[in-house]
């Protein structure tokens, strides 16, 4: 393409659109190609190929098995532990997701309001992001276990309330983590929520900041109450941000590992701890671990497709 | 209804105004109390920890557990491994991702956006799906328990992330500057090294801090690729599994301290998109 043609179209060409045959394009952009290749190669060799390889492993078995065989899949789906793990993963995800959305919205609204020392509070609100996941697991263990600090706090609270004449509350120390069932799953969800609430808050805060003050002013002139303004203006305008938060958080929640390992490890499996348990000693079975991780991959892919459709397709800042 | 609504005021105003400060203080406590707990328990004498109502304050703090882990020496190995792996991961991530990110940032808009979304999506894949294969191969290649093996694994998560941040950085550097340098006779490579990269230094610094943090905290790949030479997060897990409460809290405090500092400096760069898939349970 000549200069005059370019000028006729009226916009400068960007780099790297092959229009005149691959050879000439390549010679012109040798440097660019050389600069991209290490990254592309890395992602191919250590992300794409391993996923395909895990798929292959999931269809193989110890010596003597004919490849491909769905035996690993039938065996995990026949296992009660695996089905419990799937059920638990869904429960934990739903629990933590709903708590995160509600609390995240409240915290974002709080931090969006103007008040004394808001900058300080905003900084402090980010702290959980800086706490390593394994450490927040350790912390939740301190809080929720038998003779945990949540009980101490509850006692302090009950004592305070009992100072009010005529009130006489009783409280019994609870053990959450070793209880199993809902209680244990609840601690995992709370731990996850504590850790990632800042992310959800930041997403909602970005959304709130994108809404113009004028809309609210117009609404108050028309006599709308705070609650009406929230339900009829804020929420509808936040829908894209809520969608983004739900999808991104669901992807993370289904991959949950450390927190579940620490808080629910042997009592209530989730997909992550199930896969880890199959792969690592003493089980040492990469085959069922691979098939379970392919199942997890399939679930995550559903969310990724949703992300591409509903989030990435719409906003460029995603 | 209209009787309660006078010029934008309504029934919710009063309770909100009263409860607001209380709510702010409560939420600060929810954030800070758990962090306080780690440091408090790490200096608590054993007697303070038991019963169904463990003490919320330590009256006679002890440095016994800090002395213990500092002297016994099983902290130094993991600490050094974590430091070395995080630093090498960061270094390699920049060397591999920065040039690529520059080229991506100069692609036509549509293509560029596609590539960036592709990078983000690779971060959403479950680590286990990648890790099962990587760990089996690394075992065969003798990369278990090596620094190199773990650096390679940590690059899987870091590269797309750092490339994604840096594409944003390079996009802000005007092409006119490059053209000016080339008119003055600089080669393409010279322009990159002397004009573009120095201008991107700030963004590169922020991105490297994120990568360093990721590697410092990373647990899953470390667990798959380690049999006896722990990283610091694995050391915390070991203390959770078999240590006393104070030992667990002390190692956890060592792991947390540098991070709290780094996050303090990073806070203004924390944007929601940057965190997609970056932090998880």
Split at pLDDT 50, 70, 90, the class of B276 is: very low
> Are B155 and A42 in contact (CB < 8 Å)?
yes
B16 vs chain A: nearest CA distance in angstroms? 10
Nearest CA in chain A to B258: A130
Answer whether residue B172 is part of any domain. yes
Regarding whether B77 and B57 lie in a shared domain, the answer is no
Regarding whether B89 and B17 lie in a shared domain, the answer is no
Regarding whether B77 and B35 lie in a shared domain, the answer is no
Regarding whether B215 and B103 lie in a shared domain, the answer is yes
Answer whether residue B82 is part of any domain. yes
- Among A206, A194, A205, A204, smallest CA distance to A96 is for A194
Predicted confidence at residue A64, as pLDDT, reads 58
Regarding whether B78 and B117 lie in a shared domain, the answer is yes
> Are B249 and A57 in contact (CB < 8 Å)?
no
> Are B34 and A110 in contact (CB < 8 Å)?
no
A16 vs chain B: nearest CA distance in angstroms? 7
Answer whether residue B136 is part of any domain. yes
- Containing domain of residue B159, as a range? 72-275
Reported as a single tens digit per residue, the pLDDT across B30-80 is 999 999 999 999 998 877 677 777 778 888 888 888 988 888 878 899 999
Reported as a single tens digit per residue, the pLDDT across B86-101 is 999 999 999 999 999 9
Regarding whether B99 and B20 lie in a shared domain, the answer is no
DSSP 8-state class, residue B6: B
Region for A123 from its dihedrals, namely left if φ exceeds 0, alpha if ψ lies in -120 to 50, beta otherwise = alpha
Answer whether residue B67 is part of any domain. no
Q: What is the CATH classification number for the domain harbouring B182?
A: 1.10.3720.10
Reported as a single tens digit per residue, the pLDDT across A87-118 is 999 999 999 999 999 999 999 999 998 888 88
Query: What are the C-alpha distances in Å from B249 to residues A137, B26, B128, B146?
Result: 11, 24, 28, 27
Q: Mean of the pLDDT values across residues A138-143?
A: 90
Regarding whether B96 and B115 lie in a shared domain, the answer is yes
Regarding whether B85 and B43 lie in a shared domain, the answer is no
Reported as a single tens digit per residue, the pLDDT across B128-145 is 999 999 999 999 999 999
Contact (CB, 8 A) for B149 and B226: no
Predicted confidence at residue A279, as pLDDT, reads 96
Split at pLDDT 50, 70, 90, the class of A315 is: low
DSSP 8-state class, residue A66: P
> Are B127 and A255 in contact (CB < 8 Å)?
yes
Answer whether residue B26 is part of any domain. yes
Number of structural domains, chain B?
2
Q: Which B positions 117-156 lie with beta carbon below 8 A of chain A? A: 117, 119-122, 124-137, 152-153, 155-156
Regarding whether B125 and B191 lie in a shared domain, the answer is yes
Q: Does B23 touch chain A (CB under 8 A)?
A: yes
Residues of chain B neighbouring A316 (CB-CB closer than 8 A): 113
Nearest CA in chain A to B168: A317
Q: What are phi and psi of B6, to 5 degrees?
A: -120, 110
Regarding whether B164 and B83 lie in a shared domain, the answer is yes
Residues of chain B neighbouring A118 (CB-CB closer than 8 A): none
Region for B73 from its dihedrals, namely left if φ exceeds 0, alpha if ψ lies in -120 to 50, beta otherwise = left
3-state secondary structure of A169: coil
Predicted confidence at residue B6, as pLDDT, reads 43
CA B52 to chain centre: 35
Regarding whether B107 and B57 lie in a shared domain, the answer is no
Q: Identify the structural domains of chain A with CATH numbers, from first to last.
A: 78-145+178-312 (1.10.3720.10)
Q: What are phi and psi of A212, to 5 degrees?
A: -75, 145
Answer whether residue B7 is part of any domain. no
Reported as a single tens digit per residue, the pLDDT across A218-242 is 888 888 888 888 999 999 999 999 9
> Are B279 and A255 in contact (CB < 8 Å)?
no
Regarding whether B18 and B124 lie in a shared domain, the answer is no
Answer whether residue B280 is part of any domain. no
Residues of chain B neighbouring A107 (CB-CB closer than 8 A): 27
Q: Does B229 touch chain A (CB under 8 A)?
A: no
Answer whether residue B263 is part of any domain. yes
What value of ipTM does the predicted structure carry?
A: 0.87
């Amino acid at each position: 393409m000549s200069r005059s043609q370019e000028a006729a179209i009226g916009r400068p060409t960007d780099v790297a659109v092959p229009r005149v045959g691959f050879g000439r394009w390549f010679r012109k952009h040798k440097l660019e190609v050389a600069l991209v290749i290490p990254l592309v190669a890395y992602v191919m060799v250590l992300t794409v190929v391993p996923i395909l390889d895990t798929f292959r492993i999931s269809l193989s078995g110890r010596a003597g098995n004919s490849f491909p065989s769905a035996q690993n899949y039938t065996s995990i789906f026949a296992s009660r532990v695996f089905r419990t793990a799937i059920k638990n993963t869904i429960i934990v995800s739903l629990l933590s997701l709903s708590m995160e959305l509600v609390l995240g919205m409240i915290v974002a609204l709080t931090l969006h309001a103007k008040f004394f020392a808001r900058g300080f509070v905003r900084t402090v609100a980010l702290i959980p992001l800086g706490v390593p996941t394994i450490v927040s697991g350790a912390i939740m263990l301190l809080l929720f276990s038998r003779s945990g600090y949540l009980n101490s706090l509850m006692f302090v609270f009950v004592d305070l309330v009992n100072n009010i004449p005529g009130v006489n509350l009783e409280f019994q120390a609870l053990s959450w983590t070793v209880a199993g069932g809902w209680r244990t799953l609840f601690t995992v969800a709370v731990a996850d929520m504590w850790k990632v609430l800042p992310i959800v808050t930041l997403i909602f805060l970005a959304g709130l900041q994108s809404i113009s003050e004028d809309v609210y002013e117009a609404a108050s002139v028309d006599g709308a109450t705070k609650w009406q303004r929230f339900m009829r203006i804020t929420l509808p305008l936040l829908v894209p941000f809520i969608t983004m938060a739900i999808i991104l958080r669901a992807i993370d929640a289904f991959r949950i590992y450390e927190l579940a390992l620490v808080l629910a490890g042997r009592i209530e499996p989730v997909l992550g701890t199930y896969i880890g348990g199959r792969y690592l000693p003493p089980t040492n079975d990469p085959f069922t671990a691979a098939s379970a991780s392919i199942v997890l991959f399939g679930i995550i892919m559903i969310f990724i497709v949703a992300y591409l459709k509903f989030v990435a397709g719409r906003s460029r800042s995603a | 209804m209209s009787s309660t609504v006078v010029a934008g005021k309504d029934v919710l105003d009063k309770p909100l105004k009263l409860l607001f400060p209380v709510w702010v203080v409560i939420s600060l406590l929810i954030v800070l109390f758990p962090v306080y707990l780690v440091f408090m328990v790490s200096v608590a004498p054993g007697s303070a920890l038991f019963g169904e109502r463990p003490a919320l304050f330590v009256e006679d703090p002890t440095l016994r557990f800090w002395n213990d882990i500092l002297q016994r020496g099983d902290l130094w190995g993991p600490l050094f491994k974590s430091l070395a792996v995080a630093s090498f991961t960061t270094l390699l991530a920049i060397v591999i991702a920065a040039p690529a990110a520059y080229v991506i940032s100069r692609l036509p808009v549509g293509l560029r956006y596609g590539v960036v979304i592709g990078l983000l999506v690779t971060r959403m894949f479950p680590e286990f799906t990648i890790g099962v294969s990587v760990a089996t191969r690394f075992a065969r290649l003798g990369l278990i328990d090596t620094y190199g093996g773990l650096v390679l694994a940590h690059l899987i998560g870091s590269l797309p992330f750092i490339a994604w941040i840096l594409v944003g950085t390079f996009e802000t550097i005007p092409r006119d500057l490059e053209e000016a340098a080339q008119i003055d006779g600089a080669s393409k490579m010279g322009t990159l090294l002397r004009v573009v990269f120095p201008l991107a230094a700030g963004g590169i610094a922020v991105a490297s801090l994120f990568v360093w943090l990721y590697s410092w905290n990373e647990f899953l790949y470390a667990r798959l690729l380690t049999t006896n030479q722990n990283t610091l997060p694995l050391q915390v897990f070991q203390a959770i599994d078999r240590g006393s409460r104070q030992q667990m809290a002390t190692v956890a405090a060592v792991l947390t301290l540098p991070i709290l500092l780094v996050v303090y400096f990073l806070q203004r760069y924390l944007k929601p998109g940057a965190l997609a898939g970056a932090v998880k349970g």
